[in-house]
Amino acid sequence: MGSDMKDRLPPQDLDAEQVTLGCILLDSGAAARAMAILEIEDFYREVHRSIYSAMVAVNMRAEPVDLITVSNELRRRGQYEQVGGSEYLTALIHLVPTAAHVVRYATLVQEKAVLRRLAHAGAEIQALAYDDPKDVSAALDNAEQMIFEIAQRRDITDFLPLGREIEETFRKLDELAKRPGFLTGVPSGLPEFDRMTAGLQRGDLIILAGRPSMGKTSLAVANLALYAAVHHQVPVGIFSLEMSREQLAEMVLCAEARVDAWRLRRGDAHEDDWGRIGHVLAYLPEAPIYIDDTPAIHIMELRSKARRLKSRFDVGLLIVDYLQLVRASGRFADESRHQEVAIASAELKAIAREMDIPVVALSQLSRSVERREDKRPLLSDLAESGSIEAEADLVCFLYRPSYYQRKKLLEEAARSGQPVPETAQQPYGPDPAEIIIAKHRRGPVGTVEVDFHPAYRMFIGRERYREAEHPVDVDILPDE
């Protein structure tokens, strides 16, 4: 039986490979759909890998993927004649009458690739077992890891409407018509921030940075995404590399209902909490928020999925949480962490320009902040890469003074052996915070004072009293 196994060809579907490539050549729009599913090595035949690799390169340059551009790329690589030239490429196009089924064909190719990886892993596991390892537990762990990696690679997470996680959606507030100023971008719901930025501008890369526990995800999701999607029906795409869809759904629900997330999580919600939750559940599912929570996503996969999001849902805002978790791929995979972050920053800026939407990327700050007396962040504190500052159109820092005040009190109590003072506890009510606009390519820099509400994890502006006096005109520019 072992001899029979060796003589068998690895799992493959050359017909599916051909029609997948044909669909992409026939309709450039099929490229994004296929590339969200397939990697270059998923193709069994070397000729097909070469053609698909050329397609990926053309797509990464934001050029249309068609017979001419792919042929030129293959010529540039010296592979045009090797793959069969115009005769073979034209034959691929003639295999398919329409590109409508490209996802089905690409899935067939991917499934055969998974089976080949499984067969390869099986052979390695067999060899591992016959080597009579001394540490059986380690051998078992290695075998499990091989299978786990195949399963993880196979599990391509698609975007799902937020409403599926929390069933119904929350109350519409038309604050925008009451705010002063004239917005040309996506509104944030924070009046003073919108006055300084005129909204989140199309084509901009916006960096939202801060030390851990400052509330970066809360600001991006419970404020920016929620306000744009619910109150202005701007479709929002979220790449959440750190938190799951379920965690984000809970954050959004508690923020909109204004209920204490911790009280709700431990089953101690008050009767009026359930009333507010019931109210917002009546309309939350309609919010056009789409989440991909693939961890450690490759930048190429992220870009491909972003294009797919734009094509399917016409997203007007993209959020990446967070930048340092995005991985480089291909020839960049072995570069330094500094270089990976630089590549990711450049690609996110390219996505913003290509899709003509604001891209908000969350970023960590270096520990140098902690060593200064004044803990307010500076541009030099951006972690891992100075290119973040260079690529960004808008750089905002989150700073909460009370966090460091409480930390100092806790450290002093620990050193002295005294009880922890009440002032060192996390406040239940509003906690003063600052959004520091440190770089603004299109406008002023400065500090916006807001309040962070720890109970329901969102920020609220301090200028509500002005809103009724100075109504706002909002103009979110339509697509050209």
Range of the domain at 454: 163-474
Residue at 480 is within a domain:
no
Whether 301 and 181 map to the same domain: the answer is yes
Whether 212 and 136 map to the same domain: the answer is no
Q: Which among 234, 243, 372 is positioned nearest to 313, based on CA atoms?
A: 234
Chain centroid, CA 309 distance in Å: 11
Calculate mean pLDDT across residues 424-450.
82
Q: Which range scores top for mean pLDDT: 159-163, 167-171, 247-251?
A: 247-251
Of the listed ranges 49-58, 308-317, 413-422, 426-435, the one predicted with least confidence: 413-422
Whether 334 and 401 map to the same domain: the answer is yes
* Whole-angstrom distance, CA of residue 214 vs CA of residue 222: 14
Q: Within a 13 Å sphere around the CA of 363, how many CA atoms are in the beta-carbon half?
A: 32
Whether 230 and 127 map to the same domain: the answer is no
The vertex-451 CA angle with 445 and 455, nearest 5°, equals 140
* Whole-angstrom distance, CA of residue 270 vs CA of residue 172: 23
Calculate mean pLDDT across residues 209-217.
88
CATH code, domain with 128:
1.10.860.10
Q: What mean pLDDT, rounded, does the chain reach?
A: 80
The helix/strand/coil state of 337 is: helix
Of the listed ranges 84-93, 252-261, 288-297, 381-390, the one predicted with least confidence: 381-390
Look up residue 30 and give its two tokens.
């099929």
Look up residue 454 and give its two tokens.
């720890």
pLDDT > 50? residue 308: yes
Residue 160 has a pLDDT of: 53
Omega within 30 of 0 (cis) for the link into 290 = no
Number of residues assigned to the chain: 480
For the residues of 397-412, what is the DSSP string, one character each?
EEE-HHHHHHHHHHHH
Whether 227 and 92 map to the same domain: the answer is no
- DSSP code for 60: H
pLDDT > 50? residue 45: yes
Whether 145 and 167 map to the same domain: the answer is no
Calculate mean pLDDT across residues 67-73.
94
Q: Please give the helix or strand (H or E) that residue 72 lies within, else none.
A: helix 67-77
Of the listed ranges 8-12, 21-25, 377-381, 464-468, the one predicted with least confidence: 464-468
**Residue showing tokens 């072992």:** 2
Residue 148 has a pLDDT of: 66
Which residue has better confidence, 134 or 252?
A: 252
Q: Which among 281, 397, 321, 305 is positioned nearest to 355, based on CA atoms?
A: 305
pLDDT digits (tens, 9 = 90+) for 255-273: 877 887 777 777 777 777 7
Calculate mean pLDDT across residues 404-409.
72
Which residue has better confidence, 23 or 465?
A: 23
Look up residue 299 and give its two tokens.
């930048």
Residue 453 has a pLDDT of: 84
Residue 437 has a pLDDT of: 93
Q: Are 416 and 459 in contact (CB under 8 A)?
A: no
* Whole-angstrom distance, CA of residue 87 vs CA of residue 367: 59
- Per-residue confidence band for 409, with pLDDT thresholds at 50, 70 and 90: low
CATH code, domain with 259:
3.40.50.300
Question: Which of 122, 137, 154 is the endpoint of a domain?
Answer: 154
Question: Which phi and psi (to 5°) does residue 433 adopt?
Answer: -145, 165
Question: Which of 95, 123, 154 is the endpoint of a domain?
Answer: 154
Residue 302 has a pLDDT of: 86
Q: Please give the helix or strand (H or E) that residue 473 lies within, else none.
A: strand 473-474
Q: Which residue type does 341 have?
A: V
Q: Are 21 and 94 in contact (CB under 8 A)?
A: no
Contacts of 142 (CB under 8 A, 6+ apart): 128
The helix/strand/coil state of 290 is: strand
Calculate mean pLDDT across residues 160-179.
47
Whether 150 and 167 map to the same domain: the answer is no
Percent pLDDT > 90 in the chain is: 27
Which residue has better confidence, 313 or 168?
A: 313
**Residue showing tokens 């929350």:** 170
Residue 140 has a pLDDT of: 75
- Per-residue confidence band for 410, with pLDDT thresholds at 50, 70 and 90: low
For the residues of 307-320, what is the DSSP string, one character each?
HHHHHHH--SEEEE
- Rounded to a whole number of angstroms, the CA Rg of the chain reads 26
Look up residue 295 and give its two tokens.
């961890």
Which residue has better confidence, 370 or 299?
A: 299
Residue 51 has a pLDDT of: 95
* Whole-angstrom distance, CA of residue 171 vs CA of residue 383: 38
pLDDT > 70? residue 4: no
Calculate mean pLDDT across residues 362-385.
80
Q: Which residue type does 176 have?
A: L
Whether 98 and 40 map to the same domain: the answer is yes
pLDDT digits (tens, 9 = 90+) for 75-123: 999 999 999 999 999 999 998 888 888 888 999 999 999 899 888 888 8
**Residue showing tokens 């019931």:** 278
Whether 177 and 42 map to the same domain: the answer is no
Whether 78 and 99 map to the same domain: the answer is yes
- Per-residue confidence band for 332, with pLDDT thresholds at 50, 70 and 90: very low
Residue 288 has a pLDDT of: 92
Calculate mean pLDDT across residues 397-401.
89
Q: Which range scores top for mean pLDDT: 46-50, 170-174, 330-334, 425-429?
A: 46-50
Look up residue 222 and give its two tokens.
């419970």
Which residue has better confidence, 124 or 136?
A: 124
Of the listed ranges 134-138, 154-158, 359-363, the one predicted with least confidence: 154-158
Count of domains in the chain? Answer: 2
Q: Which range scores top for mean pLDDT: 143-147, 243-247, 316-320, 411-415?
A: 316-320
- Per-residue confidence band for 323, with pLDDT thresholds at 50, 70 and 90: confident
Q: Outline where 281-399 has alpha helix (H).
A: 299-313, 337-355, 387-391
Q: Which range scores top for mean pLDDT: 84-88, 134-138, 377-381?
A: 84-88
Question: Which of 123, 154, 185 is the endpoint of a domain?
Answer: 154
Whether 383 and 448 map to the same domain: the answer is yes
Look up residue 267 and give its two tokens.
């089953």
The helix/strand/coil state of 78 is: coil
Residue at 479 is within a domain:
no
For residue 382, list its beta bridge partners. 365
Q: Are 177 and 472 in contact (CB under 8 A)?
A: yes
pLDDT > 70? residue 412: no
Contacts of 451 (CB under 8 A, 6+ apart): 430, 431, 432, 433, 459, 460, 461, 462
Q: Which among 115, 198, 131 is positioned nearest to 476, based on CA atoms?
A: 198
